[in-house]
Structure 1
Amino acid sequence: MTLAFLPCHPVRRLRAFALIVTLGTLLLTAPAPVQAQVTAFRQAVAESAARDTDLATFYRDRAFEGIWTGADRAAATRRNALLSALADAGAHGLPVGRYDPDSLMAQLRAAATPAQQGAAEVAMSQAFLHYARDVQTGILTPSKVVPLIVREVPLRSPLGTLQAFIQSNPAAFLRSLPPSSPEYARLMREKLRLEGLLAQGGYGPTVQAASLAPGASGQAVVDLRNRLMLMGFLDRTATQTYDAGIQAAVQRFQQSMGLSVDGTAGGETMKEINVPLDKRMQSVIVAMERERWMNRPRGQRHIWVNLTDFTAAIVDNDRVTFSTRSVIGATEGDRQSPEFSDVMEYMVINPSWYVPRSIVVNEYLPQLQRNAGAVSHLDVTDRSGKVIPRGSVNASKYNARTFPYSMRQGPSERNALGLVKFLFPNKYNIYLHDTPSKNLFSRESRAFSHGCIRLNDPFDFAYALLARQESDPQAVFQARLKSGAESRITLQEPVPVHIVYRTAFTNVTGQLQFRRDVYGRDAAIWNALAREGVAVRALQG
């Protein structure tokens, strides 16, 4: 048996050598005619697959038999299904050039010798695994782009994916890889619609006015009218005046953007109206990537906290059954709310607030150093939780590293957590809770907390959760509340919680919504996707 040139890299050379030794053992036990037919092909497969542990294992377990390049019907069906999926990768907002189906086809057509066919075989498997990983769980590693996206991406085993593929209908298997969530399907449909609109010129000229109000007329109103029609908020009309029809359309637009709904195209509304279509499409593509990061069941009932929308909702079977306004972490880097999923296990009524160490040493310690009586609504406690008299605390002796005390606020209406908190224990110390600062919920943008999620209607939120296990959830909750004592209610059915960040999303009717990029995260994700070759495209009808 003749060995072809081994890879130069020492690790790859060892892998290739091991595979070829295995291949040699297989061939020595085969009849002579079979050896002559398969040696070059299987040797090429062994050498090419040696660069990847999963591929090496896959082909070794198959005695280096191909799955793509044979003349049989099964191989033809597989390669046709894969090449078709790769050619359509752009529909998913993936970089088509990453998989290069044209080059694969050219390599297959040019593979005249068994050795060339073996190399093409492994190239097909490599393209398959790249595509499967990308369309199933995303192109990017989220925490490498934005450290506060601490979501655990449900990566699949490459070897397991290959093994499942060869046991399945190829086209059906490839169709099953993207997220099956209704939201992904709706986003993909909207992306296709916007691509057609982009090919026709997009939203047209921007509106050259700082603001417009009902009763206005002129070219700026005409441009506003035209953009609203192209966006789908206004039926076709020839009006040149900011009439009742345009006012209603502006209200619909404002609602879809999460803006204050007043029907007047003020500064913030005009800024959003003039966002170009390609920028909106970037948000949709980023949202699809984010969906891939969450490609696992969310739970028939789950809690959905969209940071950019400043809302927290209970979702049952893809339908929002309860929603409330929320306040999220402030925009400063150390106060932004992280993104992750966990499971809510219980609520605490009349909670104490155990002040996080970062707040104690960064905010309250400097105040205590200036005035021992500062933040008097908080108790200073030792490591065992015992309250230390303020007179015994000489804060000036310590710094942020050496301060030996903790701080706590007992149950009360003034408690920073309000009268109830909802716990899904996590290492980020993030939870949902009430707040005495109710005035913040009336603001359009609500990024003010230290990272936790404050709820505008925490009692109703609690009733909705308890309705699954109590015949009179309000009475049960209020009885605990009126006692004044700290108490805990365990949820008999723990509820998954997903803290997400979506600047583009749809409602159940499919209407596309957009929100502002509060923390600048989606801009960072788009830039990372663009570096990988993702691009906005226009599709001719």
Structure 2
Amino acid sequence: MFPRLSSLALAALMSWGAPAMSAPLVTPLQQAVAQAASADEDIAAFYRARAFAPIWMGEGAADRRAAFLGALDRAREHGLPAGRYDAATIRAEFAAVRDPAGLGALEVAMTRRFLSFAQDIGFGVLNPRDVDRTIVLEVPRPERLAQITAFAEGDPFDAVQALAPSSPAYTRLLREKLRLEELAAAGGWGAPVSSPALKPGAEGAGVVELRNRLIRMGYLRRSVAATYDADLESAVRAFQIDHGLSPDGEAGPATLAAINVPVEDRLAQVVVGLERQRWMNKPLEPRHVLVNLAEQHAYVVDDGKVTFDTVVVVGADTPDRRTPEFSHMMTHMVINPTWNVPRSIAVKEYLPALRRGGARHLQVHSRSGRVNHDAIDFSRYTASTFPFSLKQAPGPQNALGRVKFMFPNRWNIYLHDTPSRSLFERDVRAFSHGCVRVERPLDLAYHLLTPQTATPEADFTRILNTGQERRVNLDTPVGVHLVYWSAWVTPTGRANYRGDPYGRDARVIDALRAAGVELAATRS
């Protein structure tokens, strides 16, 4: 329930009905609203359109206040900085206001608060580029005038509910956040496993610790057995799958490190995940490619359903190689691509080899054309004076493999094949110069070509067998979204967690904490 306004304020509001659209400012309240709104053009336009009639007080205001303040009371559920909105202070302000000037100032302050909250819950508390310069997502910005108008003219409870992202991924993360908070309040997952490694058949205290922890995590039914039996092995394997680890059923160092992560750290990942979902709160293309850099996995999504997926290798964790986060449109693929070696790679990695007489697989080009290796004294050049460009012709050992998938962007990032296959077997696959290497590139090509040809594999193979570079346009461009999601919940309800290969999550959670987001107290 809301505190009652003072009798003076109530009497004033009963007499200050909303005037006709063309009526002049005749009441002190309207004058106060006009003055308070003048500093913000969107808010001023909103109130001008309604002849400066209030929405937070007077007729219909009780439901609007109830809807909005109720949402503020639940802000913490979304991983938002609840103290930023301070619903208790707002209620106190309504109880204390007495004069028209105060009422007008409070009216406009409420609208500002609503728009600020709408931005936070719908599109993120943080500006991602302020957190990390490699997060270059174009976060959608709401039309503030449309937001407050919809709230004022429609059902306020529906309008407030519509502020948060409506994606299933966001909703599932909200449920996971609540689950983890309840676990944290109940003591977390218990004592960590003290053994450095455990294998099936093992016995003793370490096995008991492992079993108890997996029981509390929900991977194993309650038991008192002290042997690493088949049930425990199956539980470890399920845990490994959910955490991106090789599912061998053995609790090795990497698996135990993941098992020993405190519940609060997983909760922090979920809170970061909610913020990241808000950054992506926009309609995605009916067909799009989602590359999860934290997971090192790529998906093709058609009408909300995954229709193809593949393991990928992403940029190494160095300042000049980390793959950025951004969205773009894939317009074409290149079969039998030539690799135009980026200058940074040419001078840092290949110039020393050229000086030693190596890197013979690369063509050397001047402005006049191709130059014979033997005609150049590479020892004369430094990284700053090297005047040549390097290329690798199409072929089995080309660094881009048999195909590259192009979504032209200023970072020169794209997806491509690779002749180096061993890295796909790793649990963590951050090794490239920044582009995304695809484990199943040919299958991806067939899948992307299927909407425009009845024989995608045959068409692709015919071009591939020529050995000549060929551009193939996509009849309908495909959205590409490079994201960094270390926590998500599958449609079947399985929570998945990954590491933080670039340290971006750590920076995001630090920034969220600095903004006032509160997490549960630490437990094991």
Confirm whether residue 85 of structure 1 aligns to residue 68 of structure 2.
no
Q: Aligned with 2:212: secondary structure?
A: helix
Per-residue CA distance 1:127-172 (angstroms, 9 max, x = gap): 1011100011101010110111111001112223222322221111
Decide whether the 8 Å contact of 2:23 with 2:51 is kept in 1.
no
Q: Are 2:211 and 1:225 equivalent residues in the alignment?
A: yes
Aligned to 2:13: none
1:346 aligns with 2:364: no
Check if 1:532 corresponds to 2:520. no
Q: What is aligned with 1:477?
A: 460
Aligned partners of 1:380 and 1:389 also within 8 Å: yes
Partner in structure 2 of residue 54 of structure 1: 42
Deviation at 1:509, TM superposition (A): 1.1
CA shift for structure 1 position 54: 2.5
The letter for the 2-side match of 1:414 is Q
Instruction: Please give the residue correspondences for 1:389-404 in structure 2 after superposition, counting only pairs within 5 Å.
Output: 389-404=372-387
Question: What TM-score do you get using the length of structure 2 for normalisation?
Answer: 0.92
Aligned to 1:181: 167
Once the two structures are superposed, what CA deviation does each residue of 1:94-113 show, in whole Å capped at 9, x if it has no partner? 11111111101110111122
Is the alpha carbon distance of 1:389 and 1:248 closer, same or farther for their aligned partners in structure 2, counting shifts above 3 Å?
Answer: same
Which of the numbers 417, 433, 458 marks the counterpart of 2:441? 458
Report the CA distance between 1:410 and its aligned residue: 0.8
The separation in 1 between residues aligned to 2:82 and 2:480, in whole angstroms, is: 34
Deviation readout 1:261-308 (Å, 9 max, x if unpaired): 111111111111110001000001101100100111122221111112
Alpha-carbon separation, structure 2, partners of 1:288 and 1:116: 37
Which secondary structure does the structure 2 equivalent of 1:185 belong to? helix
Residue identity matched to 1:204: G
Distance in 2 between the 1:316 and 1:506 partners? Answer: 19
Alpha-carbon distance in structure 1 between the residues aligned to 2:67 and 2:170: 22
1:219 to partner: Cα distance: 2.9
Deviations 1:433-484 (A, max 9, x none): 0001111111221111000000111111111111222212111111111111
Q: Partner residue of 2:394?
A: 411
For 2:264, the equivalent position in structure 1 comes to 278
* Alpha-carbon separation, structure 2, partners of 1:155 and 1:366: 48
- SS of alignment partner, residue 468 of structure 1: helix
The 3-state SS of whatever aligns with 1:496 is strand
CA distance in 2, matches of 1:150, 1:394: 41
Q: Distance in 2 between matches of 1:393 and 1:56?
A: 69
Where does structure 1 lack aligned partners over 5 or more consecutive residues? 1-25
Q: Which amino acid aligns with 2:455?
A: D
Aligned length: 502
* Residues 493-513 of structure 1 deviation map (CA, whole Å, 9 limit, x = unaligned): 211111111110122212110
The answer for the alignment partner of 2:498 in structure 1 is 515
Partner of 2:154: 168
Please give the alpha-carbon distance, in whole angstroms, between the structure 1 residues aligned to 2:520 and 2:70. 19
Q: How does 1:113-132 map to 2 (within 5 A)?
A: 113-132=99-118
2:414 to 431, 444, 448: 431
Residue 296 (1) aligns with residue 282 (2): yes
Q: Alignment partner for residue 488 of structure 1, among 435, 446, 471?
A: 471
Superposed displacement of residue 392, structure 1? 4.3
1:65 aligns with 2:65: no
1:388-437: CA deviation from partner (whole Å, max 9, x where unpaired): 22344444444434433211111001100001111111111011000011
Pairing 1:247-262 to 2, within 5 Å after superposition: 247-262=233-248
Q: Is the partner of 1:80 in helix, strand or coil?
A: helix
CA RMSD of aligned residues (A): 1.9
Cα offset, 1:222, TM superposition: 2.1
**Against the structure 1 CA distance between its residues 112 and 318, is the aligned structure 2 distance closer, same or farther, given a 3 Å change threshold?**
same
Deviation at 1:537, TM superposition (A): 4.0
Equivalent residue letter for 1:380: V
CA contact (8 A) 1:350 1:484 kept: yes
Structure 1 counterpart SS, 2:210 = helix
In the TM superposition, residue 515 of structure 1 has moved relative to its aligned partner by 0.3
Q: Distance in 2 between matches of 1:405 and 1:497?
A: 33
Distance 2:403 2:90 in 1: 59
Pick closer, same or farther for the CA change 1:266–1:512 going to 2, 3 Å.
same
Query: Judging changes above 3 Å, is the alpha-carbon distance between structure 1 residues 293 and 110 closer, same or farther for their aligned structure 2 residues?
Result: same
Structure 2: distance between partners of 1:436 and 1:50: 63
Offset, 1:367: 3.4
8 Å CA contact 1:69–1:120 kept in 2: the answer is no
Q: What TM-score does the superposition give when structure 1 sets the normalisation length?
A: 0.89
Match for 1:42 among 15, 27, 30?
30
Residue 334 of structure 1 deviates from its aligned partner by: 0.5
Partner of residue 3, structure 1: none
Which secondary structure does the structure 2 equivalent of 1:483 belong to? Answer: coil
Contact 2:56 2:65 in 1 (8 A): yes
Give the match for residue 319 of structure 1: 305
Check conservation: 1:352, 1:409, Cα contact below 8 A.
yes
How far did residue 240 of structure 1 move? 2.2
Question: 1:64 is matched by which residue type in structure 2?
Answer: F
Q: Distance in 2 between matches of 1:238 and 1:316?
A: 46
Q: Distance in 1 between matches of 2:110 and 2:423?
A: 55
* Code of the aligned partner of 2:424: F
| Cα distance between partner residues in 1 of 2:367 and 2:247 | 50
8 Å contact kept, 1:104–1:123 = no
Whole-angstrom distance in 1 between the partners of 2:388 and 2:331: 29
Alpha-carbon deviation of 1:365?
Answer: 2.8
CA contact (8 A) 1:318 1:508 kept: no
Greater mean deviation of Cα atoms: 521-530 or 115-124? 115-124
Gaps of at least 5 residues in structure 2 are 1-18
- Cα distance change on mapping 1:89 and 1:383 into 2, 3 Å: farther
1:388 to 371, 386, 389: 371
For residues 509 and 157 of structure 1, what CA distance do their matches in structure 2 show? 35
398-407 or 243-252: bigger deviation: 398-407
Separation of aligned partners in 2, 1:216 and 1:80: 59
Tell me whether 409-418 or 199-208 shows the greater mean CA deviation.
Answer: 199-208
- What is aligned with 1:4? none
1:146 aligns with 2:129: no
Name the SS for the 1:322 alignment partner: strand
- The alpha carbon displacement at 1:77 in A equals 1.4
2:362 maps to what in 1? 378
Question: What corresponds to 1:21 in structure 2?
Answer: none
1:9 maps to none
Cα distance between partner residues in 2 of 1:406 and 1:177: 51
- Identify which of 209, 220, 244 aligns with 1:234: 220
Query: 2:14 matched to which residue of 1?
Result: none
Which region of structure 1 is more displaced relative to structure 2, 235-244 or 225-234?
235-244
Q: Secondary structure at the match of 2:370?
A: coil
1:192-214 CA distance string (max 9 Å, x none) = 12112222111111112112222
CA displacement at 1:526 relative to structure 2 = 0.4
Residue 503 of structure 1: aligned partner: 486
